[in-house]
């Protein structure tokens, strides 16, 4: 029986571990300080979890666009995504 397993590289493991840690931190934050929906520059009322999801999804699109449209290092896209996540979580 031949089972195919995903090749877990260190960056992949770090990525998924970070996502899990963010979700745990957001859960604890919600328990300690429940969130109220609010409106920012995103044209709908959102909670912290909504803004986290929107930020992560749009960060993935930033990386895909970066890979598809430029030949520069991916670290620049990573920096842009971090800045974007802070903006969405704070003012979104």
For 39-48, write each residue's pLDDT tens digit: 888 888 888 8
| CB proximity list for 57: less than 8 A, separation 6 or greater | none
pLDDT at 42: 83
Contacts from 14-23 at CB under 8 Å and sequence distance 24+? 19/56, 22/52
Nearest to 48 by CA among 59, 63, 33: 33
pLDDT at 25: 93
pLDDT at 72: 92
pLDDT at 15: 84
DSSP of 16-29, one letter per residue?
Answer: HHHHHHHHHHHHHH
* pLDDT of 83 above 90: yes
Domain residue spans of the chain: 54-92
What pTM does this model have? 0.76
pLDDT at 58: 93
Query: 7: phi > 0 → left, psi -120 to 50 → alpha, else beta; which?
Result: beta
Any bridge partners for residue 46, and if so which? 38
pLDDT at 2: 59
């Amino acid at each position: 029986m031949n089972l195919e397993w995903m090749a877990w590289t260190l960056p992949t493991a770090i990525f998924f571990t970070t996502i899990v840690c963010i979700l745990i931190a957001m859960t604890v934050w919600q328990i300690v300080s429940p969130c109220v929906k609010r409106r920012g520059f995103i044209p709908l009322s959102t909670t912290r979890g909504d803004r986290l999801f929107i930020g992560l999804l749009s960060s993935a699109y930033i990386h895909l666009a970066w890979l598809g449209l430029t030949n520069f290092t991916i670290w620049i896209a990573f920096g842009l995504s971090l800045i974007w996540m802070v903006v969405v979580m704070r003012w979104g």
